[in-house]
């Protein structure tokens, strides 16, 4: 790894981001003999993974989460822990001898004046040019904390889930978790198991909840098999599967969702894979409450009009992609700030500008990153030959 930009090769392919998407793409490019340089704003690879909460494990299997050219060690087990993911990504960069420039934050990408490539503007007034650039800054880039009325004067503890590490600071305390995606669900369980006195979970829309594995068959493999089937057929099959395999939690505040599972996936809502939430809700150790509407001094006002007084509020309210400053002026983003293309595809108005890691498919993000990396490298190899 380097802490400065390489002096050799006048026009490498620049890959922005030293997470799994960026590393996989750089390795796939290198395998085709293409000089690729990873630009990472922090001082190490896998920076975002290092910041996840302690108990995090992949919800995708070890075999289906490896990146191109290096399997994950069997010693990591089937569901790989956060620290092992970090070790794997460090080893991956070393194994493939990737050229990584750390401490380089790219703040804006512009089309070159001669229209033959891209100009990357980095800190310190540096400008890098290349005919091909791959943006891989990550799906969970910028924490999204809702601008609830009264947020600035709330007297309790308020933090986004990206700052949560473990339950130790909340032992014996009353905690409200806002948001029931996979992160919120797992944090709620972690708090219960870690000794919080009371754990409530604020839910606006009830999620689809799946078992991570049934009789040894991981939910990820089902996601791979059905992702190209008609949406309606998958919705109907998923509804039947959920009702056969999961208890009805309507009385506890988590009714069966009205919208179909795959319909909601296509809208960006990934199912929750159960790692203890169902049992915690069923037994009352996690109490489901209505969505948060506002904060009022030491109280939280919920959508049903009730007011509760948790000592701490942990907002598992998601992330923004954070691409607007980087490429928003290029016309390559949709109204939600997501890239209009991903993987091997590029826009005709932005040739040579690729994006990877900005979808969250039911087949597993790491698996799709690995596939995209090979496709991008293949396309770049053909178009730059």
Check whether 2 has a pLDDT greater than 70.
Answer: no
**How far is CA 48 from its chain centroid?**
10
315's CB contacts (< 8 A; 6+ apart) are 145, 146, 158, 159, 160, 161, 178, 179
- pLDDT for 384: 77
- Averaged pLDDT of the chain: 94
Cα-Cα end-to-end distance for the chain: 27
Contacts of 281 (CB under 8 A, 6+ apart): 201, 249, 252, 253, 254, 288
Round to whole Å and give the CA distance between 181 and 214. 20
- Predicted pLDDT at 11: 84
What percentage of the chain exceeds 70 in pLDDT? 97
CA distances from 311 to 204, 297, 305, 352 (A): 21, 11, 19, 50
pLDDT-based confidence at residue 5 (cuts at 50, 70, 90): low
Query: pLDDT higher for 241 or 352?
Result: 352
Domain boundaries of the chain, sorted by first residue = 13-141+321-384, 144-315
pLDDT recorded at residue 70: 98
The size of the chain, in residues, is 385
Q: At what angle do helices 365-384 and 20-31 cross, to 10 degrees?
A: 40
pLDDT digits (tens, 9 = 90+) for 291-319: 999 999 999 999 999 999 999 999 999 99
**HEC string for 110-128:** EECCCCCCEEEEEHHHCEE
pLDDT digits (tens, 9 = 90+) for 222-271: 999 988 889 999 999 989 888 888 999 999 999 999 899 989 888 878 89
Confidence at residue 346, expressed as pLDDT on a 0 to 100 scale? 95
97: CB partners within 8 A, 6+ apart: 30
In tens, the pLDDT along 141-170 reads: 899 999 999 999 999 999 999 999 999 999
Distant-in-sequence, close-in-space partners of 383: CB < 8 Å, separation ≥ 6: 352
**If you average pLDDT over residues 360-375, what whole number do you get?**
94
H-only helix segments in the chain: 20-31, 47-50, 82-95, 182-193, 219-226, 231-245, 261-266, 277-282, 324-327, 365-384
- Among 352, 385, 361, 357, smallest CA distance to 373 is for 357
The share of the chain scoring above pLDDT 90, in percent, equals 84
Region 13-141+321-384: CATH code: 3.50.50.60
- What is the model's pLDDT at position 9? 45
At 36-52, the pLDDT tens digits run: 999 999 999 999 999 99
CATH no. of 144-315? 3.50.50.60
Q: Is the pLDDT of residue 193 over 90?
A: yes
Report which of 327, 334, 331 is spatially closest to residue 348, judged by C-alpha positions. Answer: 331
Burial category of 370 from C-beta neighbours within 10 Å (exposed 0-12, middle 13-18, buried 19 and up): buried
pLDDT at residue 7, as a whole number: 44
* pLDDT per position as a tens digit, 57-95: 999 999 999 999 999 999 999 999 999 999 999 999 999
Q: Kindly give the residue spans of alpha helices, DSSP state H, lying in 58-173.
A: 82-95
pLDDT in tens, 10-38: 589 999 999 999 999 999 999 999 999 99
Q: What does the pLDDT read at residue 107?
A: 97
pLDDT at 54: 97
Say yes or no: do domains 13-141+321-384 and 144-315 share a fold.
yes
> pTM (2 decimals)?
0.92
């Amino acid at each position: 790894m380097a802490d400065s930009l390489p002096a050799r090769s006048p026009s490498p392919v620049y890959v922005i981001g030293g997470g799994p998407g960026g590393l996989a793409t750089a390795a796939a490019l290198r395998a085709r003999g293409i000089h690729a340089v990873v630009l990472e704003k922090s001082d190490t690879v896998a920076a975002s993974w290092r910041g996840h909460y302690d108990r995090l494990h992949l919800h995708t299997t070890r075999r289906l989460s490896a990146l191109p050219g290096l399997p994950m060690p069997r010693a990591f087990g089937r569901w790989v822990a956060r620290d092992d993911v970090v070790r794997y990504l460090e080893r991956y960069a070393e194994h493939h001898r990737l050229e990584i420039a750390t401490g380089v934050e790219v703040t804006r990408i512009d089309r070159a004046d001669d229209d033959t490539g891209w100009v990357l503007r980095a800190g310190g007034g540096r400008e890098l040019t290349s005919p091909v650039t791959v943006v891989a800054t990550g799906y969970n880039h910028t924490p999204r904390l809702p601008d609830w009325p009264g947020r600035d004067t709330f007297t309790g503890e308020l933090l986004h889930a990206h700052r949560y590490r473990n339950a130790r600071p909340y032992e014996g305390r009353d905690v409200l978790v806002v948001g029931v995606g996979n992160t919120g669900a797992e944090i709620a369980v972690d708090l219960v198991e870690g000794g919080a006195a009371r754990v409530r979970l604020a839910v606006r829309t009830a999620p689809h909840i799946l078992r991570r594995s049934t009789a040894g068959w991981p939910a990820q493999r089902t996601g791979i098999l059905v992702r190209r089937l008609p949406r309606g057929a998958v919705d109907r099959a998923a509804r039947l599967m959920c009702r056969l395999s999961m208890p009805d939690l309507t009385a506890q505040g988590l009714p069966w969702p009205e919208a179909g599972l795959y319909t909601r996936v296509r809208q960006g809502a990934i199912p929750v894979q159960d790692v203890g939430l169902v049992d915690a809700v069923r037994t009352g150790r996690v109490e489901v409450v209505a969505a948060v509407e506002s904060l009022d001094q030491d109280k939280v006002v919920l959508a049903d009009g009730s007011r509760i007084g948790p000592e701490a509020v942990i907002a598992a309210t998601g992330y923004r992609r954070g691409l607007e400053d980087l490429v928003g002026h290029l016309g390559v983003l949709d109204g939600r700030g997501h890239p209009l293309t991903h993987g091997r595809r590029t826009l005709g108005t932005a040739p040579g500008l690729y994006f990877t890691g900005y979808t969250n498919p039911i087949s597993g993000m790491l698996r799709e990153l690995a596939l995209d990396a090979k496709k991008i490298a293949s396309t770049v190899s053909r178009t730059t030959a």
